[in-house]
Amino acid sequence: MLDLFAARPQNLKNDVLSGLTVALALVPEAVAFAFLAGVSPIMGLYSAFFIGLITAIVGGRPGMISGATGAMAVVVVSLVAMHGVEYLFPAVVLCGVIQILVGSARLGMLIRMVPHPVMLGFVNGLAIVILLAQFGSFKTVSNAGHLAYMRGPALWIMLGLVALTMSIIWLLPKLTRAVPASLAAILVVTGISVAMNNSLSTELAAENQSQVVLTVGDMLMTNAKAQAAAEVDPSLAAGNHTTQAPASTAPSSETTEAEITAAMAGVNPESVSLSAGLPRPFFLEYALPPLTLATLWIILPYAVTLAGVGLIESLMTLSLIDDITETRGQGNRECVGQGVANIVCGLFGGMGGCAMIGQSLINVNSGGRGRLSGVTAAVCLLLFVLFLAPWIEMIPMAALVGVMFMVVIGTFEWASLRMARKVPVSDYAVMILVAGYTVLMHDLATAVVLGVIASALVFAWQHAKHIGVDVKHNEFGSKIYQLHGPLFFASTSSFKDLFDPKNDPEDVVIDFYYTRVYDQSGLEAISSLAERYEAAGKRLHLTHLSNECRRLLDRAGDLVEVNLSEDPQYHVATDRIEPLMVERKEKTPEYEVSAATAL
């Protein structure tokens, strides 16, 4: 498809320009997630600044962008609605502490266990989620407080500017790479939209629009008006998806359209502006919650969930950027970096965050490879808030939507559409499961966990059928079972069906040269088999146990009673097995197994 992520050398200019591009794209994302979490837009921007700056400096993946995310926002929204925003900040700090502990314990390496079908489902589902999220930029708020899609000339103008943005991003790299295509597209489309808003008649604007082309400032006002309408009539909250009303609040039958209109008219434009001062510690702005165990029990579940969601998304994004850039990040360091960033973010009144895959892909696509790109994005974002808010509010949403559409095209794994008949059905089903859950529930972390569990179950089911046996007799009249395949929880039933204690001779040998015992279920199966042979008055021997198997048997103690036997070495009268047993005669002790008295 489009070569959006071609390898580029890391250099200062690319990092600075790509960081500026990312900062422009971060503004509407951070604001939208702040509204979703039920906090002020400035809080979302401060969160993006702290998370992005600190992870860029101390995180484990240069070039990856972190900030306020929707996955974190959907976790904290109920905490803010039920207990107040003052409980949010200690929860974010505790989340950071947990993430540091995870990184210090070197658990970040667990991301390597994510199967490839899960990764494909993750990126495909995420691409669809990013695509669907852009449709919210085509909505305006009506007098009744409902969000509705644009119509008429305003819609066609927006679609035309989106197409122009995408065309510039596609064509400009064919001419020059001196300037990131995404940044050039944003600047060009912004200039066109400013000219159109200043020259075209306002009669062409859609109803309730003050401008022909919707800008970031219009988006802020639209969200603020929808939130104000939902406060008057909470039934609007579910339809608008801009805020979450408390569960105990019911819509009033006496609410009139006039009241809703008055509430929306009362929104002060300055209150939704991006302009603000330097961030201050949260305890200087908000009342501290009581420092008691009750408070800890309130915030602990949210902190654990935030930590898990943040780390899963960050490590999955790290793995994706690794593949794109053909380099390798440090998972454990990234866990620690995310933790430090969330602690600082919580202390300064932020809503927390994690890696942002969409902005990370924009950064990579724009040539950002080093830590400077993330630092530039964070610093520019703060400068926007402090000095350049009026200019940033003039950027058309069409330009940002066009950039994100190109991210969707580059993110989706188009080759997966042709894989159905080329990969195992189970792998393709796992990919669809992860992608489908991501799209339906908008929960990337849970989707990944479900995919890993499904893949593990498929693996266990397939390998449970791989255990088999070759049966031979030696010159002493002993029957020898030569096992093949793994012995673990899923294969124990098949293992037990391989033996016939009732009809076997007095001495039976199980040769483990081609198999391994992996868990306690395997030990229990051996013990149960020993009981059956003991009940039949026969002896059972284990030979060629690996070092790992012997250690498992030793650890089991009285769970499986194993005694070193002085019985002669048993040889199988075949050319294939006998040389192996002769070779290992002096190396491998023979074990005689009796029934486990403790089981």
Q: Other CB atoms closer than 10 Å to residue 292's CB: what's the count?
A: 9
Residues 6+ apart with CB under 8 A from 340: 54, 58, 96, 100
H or E segment to which residue 126 belongs:
helix 116-134
What are the phi and psi torsion angles at 335 (to 5°)? Answer: -60, -45
In a structure prediction context, what are the per-residue pLDDT tens digits for the chain, which is 599 residues long?
334 444 455 678 889 999 999 999 888 888 878 877 778 888 999 999 999 999 999 999 999 999 988 778 878 888 888 898 999 999 999 999 999 999 999 988 877 788 889 988 988 987 888 888 888 888 887 766 677 888 888 899 999 999 999 999 999 988 887 788 888 999 999 999 999 888 765 554 444 455 678 888 888 888 888 878 877 776 666 555 443 434 444 444 455 677 777 777 777 776 677 888 889 998 888 888 888 999 999 999 999 989 988 998 899 899 889 988 888 899 999 999 999 999 999 999 999 999 998 889 889 988 898 999 999 999 999 999 999 888 888 999 999 889 889 888 887 888 888 888 888 999 999 999 999 998 888 777 788 889 999 999 998 888 888 889 999 988 888 899 999 989 999 999 899 899 999 899 988 988 888 888 888 888 888 888 888 888 888 888 888 877 767 766 666 555 444 443 433 343 333 333 344 333 434 444 455 554 443 33
Q: Which of 389, 412, 431 is the last residue of a domain?
A: 431
Distance CA 20, CA 436 (A): 33
Q: Which of 431, 454, 478 is the last residue of a domain?
A: 431
Claim to verify: residue 181 and residue 324 sit in the same structural domain: yes
Residue type, 267: V
Structural domain count of the chain: 2
Strands (E), 490-567: 507-517, 539-543, 562-564
Looking up tokens 């420092």, which residue turns up? 291
- Report the pLDDT value the prediction gives residue 296, as an integer from 0 to 100: 94
| Burial (Cβ within 10 Å: 0-12, 13-18, ≥19) of residue 270 | exposed
CA distances for 569 relative to 354, 480, 533, angstroms:
60, 12, 20
188, 294: one domain: yes
Q: What is the CATH number of the domain that holds 553?
A: 3.30.750.24
Bridge partner residues of 468 (DSSP): 484
Query: Is the same domain home to 477 and 545?
Result: yes
153-175 vs 181-199: helix axis angle to the nearest 10? 150
| DSSP 8-state code for residue 396 | B
Question: Are 515 and 467 within 8 A, CB to CB?
Answer: yes
Q: Are 538 and 592 in contact (CB under 8 A)?
A: no
The answer to the question of residue 196 being in a domain is: yes
544 CB-near residues (< 8 Å, 6+ apart)? 511, 512, 513, 580, 581, 584, 588
- The three-state DSSP-derived secondary structure of 151-205 is CCHHHHHHHHHHHHHHHHHHHHHHHCCCCCHHHHHHHHHHHHHHHHHHHCCHHHC
88, 216: one domain: yes
Q: What is the pLDDT of residue 557?
A: 54
Distances (CA, A) of 203 to 200, 210, 211: 8, 10, 10
Structure tokens at 534: 């003991």
| Cα 409 from chain centroid (whole Å) | 19
- Single out the residue of 357, 69, 25 nearest to residue 181, CA to CA: 25
Gap between the Cα atoms of 34 and 37, Å rounded:
5
Residue among 66, 49, 57, 116 nearest 311 (CA): 66
424 with 494, same domain: the answer is no
Same domain, 230 and 298: yes
Range of the domain at 297: 12-239+257-282+290-431
What's residue 144's pLDDT? 65
In degrees and rounded to multiples of 5, residue 418 shows phi and psi of: -105, 10
**CA-CA distance, 392 to 298, in Å (whole number)?**
38
Any domain includes 314: yes
Contact 192, 167 (CB under 8 A): no
Q: What residues form DSSP beta bridges with 354? A: 67
Helix (H) or strand (E) holding 482: strand 479-487
149 beta partners: 139
The pLDDT score that the predictor gives to residue 592 is: 53
DSSP structural state of residue 384: I
Q: Is residue 438 part of a domain?
A: no
**520 and 384 in a common domain:** no
Could you give the CA distance from residue 521 to residue 531 in angstroms, rounded to a whole number? 15
Identify the residue whose tokens are 């103008």. 157
Give me 303's structure tokens.
Answer: 């902190």
Which of these three, 431, 448, 478, is where a domain ends?
Answer: 431
The encoded tokens of residue 76 equal 């904290």
Residue positions counted in the chain: 599
Burial of residue 178 (CB within 10 Å: 0-12, 13-18, 19+) is exposed
The token pair that represents 46 in the structure block: 């401060």
4 contacts 365 by C-beta, under 8 angstroms:
yes
CA–CA distances in Å: residue 512 to residues 211, 325, 491, 524, 572: 78, 44, 15, 16, 14
Residue found under tokens 């300064």: 348
Contact residues for 300 (Cβ-Cβ < 8 A; gap 6+)? 94
In-domain check, residue 445:
no
Q: Is position 2 within any domain?
A: no
- Alpha-helix residue ranges (DSSP H) falling in 396-546: 397-411, 425-441, 444-464, 492-497, 520-535
Nearest to 596 by CA among 563, 548, 551: 563
Using CA atoms of 185, 190, 193, 197 in order, give the dihedral in degrees to the nearest 10. 180
Burial of residue 396 (number of CB atoms within 10 Å: 0-12, 13-18, 19+): buried
Q: Are residues 67 and 197 in the same domain?
A: yes
**Same domain? 16 vs 109:** yes
> Do 181 and 399 meet the contact criterion of CB atoms below 8 Å apart?
no
Q: Is residue 304 part of a domain?
A: yes
Q: How far apart are CA 593 and CA 550, in angstroms?
A: 12
Would residue 317 count as lying in a domain? yes
Instruction: Tell whether 352 is covered by a domain.
Output: yes
Per DSSP, the three-state class of 362 is helix
Cα distances (angstroms) measured from residue 151 to each of 140, 205, 358:
10, 10, 28
- What 3-state DSSP class applies to 115? coil
Instruction: Tell me: do 313 and 383 sit in the same domain.
Output: yes
Q: Are residues 271 and 206 in the same domain?
A: yes
Q: Are residues 470 and 412 in the same domain?
A: no
> What separation in angstroms does the CA of 346 have from each of 48, 92, 158, 438?
12, 5, 37, 27
